[in-house]
Amino acid sequence: MTDSFSVAIKHILKEDVEHAQVVLNGKTSMVPLEVLLMTKVEGGPASVGPSAAVSLLDWYDLEQEVLLVMERPFPCVSLLKYMENSGPLKEDVAKDIMKQLVDAAITMHTKGIFHGNIKAENLLLETGSSDPQVRVIDFGCGCLVQEEPYFIFSGTSAYAPPELLTCGRYEAAPTTVWQLDALLYKMLDAEQYFSTFEFLRGRIHFNKDLSQGCQKFLEQCLATNPNQRATLEQIQQHPWLQNQTHVKP
């Protein structure tokens, strides 16, 4: 209020808040899990601006709700809105966005954070420069990375990994790769609806007008067997992604 800094305020009903245990100054306390995730991934107000994830500036535990006060990039537009306005993205534009997202995903996983719900609605394009910066928002479905499989999925069902549907369990990194590539498919073919269920039934087909490198990238990331799916580090070094051309959308 005093400096007119642009913020976004998220209201979460107390009954919907999941808590996590933390140790602060030698004392154990409980904080909202989303607060913990955002703090671990970027570190708070000092990270405003250059980080991939939007920064948490402050939070308030009120009687009936929890408020998260977050950085609000400006000017920006949600990736979903941008896709609705522009239709299918050019391959170089989608590649630029994907490269930033892969780097962000690796950073998050390195810090022990699993976003769990990567999709166009949860991404912003910061448009104030010639090379738009991708910003990640909404860690409400996120959790800490763990070695053991997960059995409960909180993200968007259309982008659930196939191993959840076939085996009832999934792991963080292969799921992130699946969601990133489902998003890439959607960016390149905005008219087509993507869902894992339809993919498993053979009703999702790659656009043959895409470059061979892009098609191979899609195939390696959308392998239904998580053991055969490319890893985050492998897709970061994939030739298609490495041949990067920065293009303004």
Of the three residues 56, 71, 86, the one that is the final residue of a domain is 71
Q: What is the pLDDT of residue 45?
A: 55
> For residue 130, is pLDDT > 90?
no
Average of per-residue pLDDT across 175-182: 97
Quick one: pLDDT band at residue 44, thresholds 50, 70, 90?
low
| Same structural domain, 91 and 181 | yes
8 Å CB contact between 240 and 217: yes
Q: What is the pLDDT of residues 93-115, one digit of tens each?
A: 999 999 999 999 999 999 999 99
CATH code for the domain in which residue 164 is found? 1.10.510.10
Q: What is the pLDDT of residue 100?
A: 94
Of the three residues 71, 99, 123, the one that is the final residue of a domain is 71
Of the three residues 71, 104, 123, the one that is the final residue of a domain is 71
| Same structural domain, 28 and 48 | yes
Q: What is the pLDDT of residues 54-66, one digit of tens each?
A: 999 999 999 999 9
| Same structural domain, 64 and 80 | no
Q: What is the pLDDT of residue 43?
A: 56
Quick one: pLDDT band at residue 174, thresholds 50, 70, 90?
very high
Structural domain count of the chain: 2
User: Which residues are CB-contacts of 165 (< 8 A; sequence separation ≥ 6)?
Assistant: 196, 197, 200
Q: What is the pLDDT of residues 142-158, one digit of tens each?
A: 999 999 999 999 999 99
| Same structural domain, 105 and 46 | no
Q: What pTM did the predictor assign?
A: 0.91
Tallying the residues shown for the chain, one arrives at 249
8 Å CB contact between 169 and 163: yes
Structural domain span for residue 47: 7-71
